[in-house]
Structure 1
Amino acid sequence: MARVAILIDGDNIATRHAPRIAALGKQAGRADIHRAYADAAKATGWSTVPGVRLVHAGTGKNAADLLLTVEAMEMVLTAGVETVVIASSDGDFTHLATRLREIGIKVIGAGEAKAPAMFRAACAEFYILSAPEKKPPAPKAPPSKLDLEIRAAIELHSQKGSGMRIALLGPKTAIRISSFPEKTWRKYLEARPSLYDLDPRGPDAHVRFRPEGFRD
Structure 2
Amino acid sequence: MTKVVVLVDGDNISASHAALIRTKAARLGDITTCRVYTDAQGNSGWHEAHGFRVMHAGTGKNAADLLLSIDAMELALRDGKRQFVIVTSDGDFSHLAQRLLDHDCHVLGLGESKAPRCFRAACSGFEVIGSSSAKVSVQPPVAASHGVSAVDKCSDLDLKIRDMIRKHTDGPHGVEIANLNVLLRREHDIRISTLPEGTWRNYLAKRPALYDLDPRGPEAKVRYLPKVFSNAA
Match of 2:123 in 1: 123
- Superposition pairs for residues 91-130 of structure 1, below 5 Å? 91-130=91-130
Match of 2:76 in 1: 76
Match of 1:46 in 2: 46
Match of 1:188 in 2: none
Structure 1 ranges of 4+ moved more than 6 A: none
| Deviation per residue, 1:33-52 (Å, 9 max, x gap) | 00000011111111111110
Please report how far the alpha carbon of residue 132 of structure 1 lies from its aligned counterpart in structure 2 after TM superposition: 7.7
> What SS is found at the alignment partner of 2:40?
coil
Structure number with bigger Rg: 1
How high is the TM-score relative to the length of structure 1?
0.60
Match of 1:59 in 2: 59
Aligned partners of 1:2 and 1:81 also within 8 Å = no
Match of 2:12 in 1: 12
Unaligned runs of 5+ in 1: 134-216
Q: CA RMSD in A?
A: 1.4
| Deviation per residue, 1:174-195 (Å, 9 max, x gap) | xxxxxxxxxxxxxxxxxxxxxx
Report the AA paired with residue 57 of structure 2: A
Please report how far the alpha carbon of residue 78 of structure 1 lies from its aligned counterpart in structure 2 after TM superposition: 1.4
| Deviation per residue, 1:65-116 (Å, 9 max, x gap) | 0000000000011123111100000001000001101110000000000000
Please report how far the alpha carbon of residue 131 of structure 1 lies from its aligned counterpart in structure 2 after TM superposition: 3.6
Aligned partners of 2:94 and 2:118 also within 8 Å = yes
Report the AA paired with residue 82 of structure 1: R
Distance, in Å, in 2 between the alignment partners of 1:92 and 1:132 is: 23
Match of 2:155 in 1: none
Aligned partners of 1:112 and 1:131 also within 8 Å = no
Report the AA paired with residue 104 of structure 2: G
> What SS is found at the alignment partner of 1:28?
coil
Number of residue-to-residue matches in the alignment? 133
Report the AA paired with residue 129 of structure 2: L
Unaligned runs of 5+ in 2: 134-233
Aligned partners of 1:3 and 1:80 also within 8 Å = no
Aligned partners of 1:4 and 1:28 also within 8 Å = yes
How high is the TM-score relative to the length of structure 2?
0.55
Report the AA paired with residue 105 of structure 2: I
Aligned partners of 1:25 and 1:31 also within 8 Å = yes
Aligned partners of 2:76 and 2:103 also within 8 Å = no
Aligned partners of 2:100 and 2:106 also within 8 Å = yes
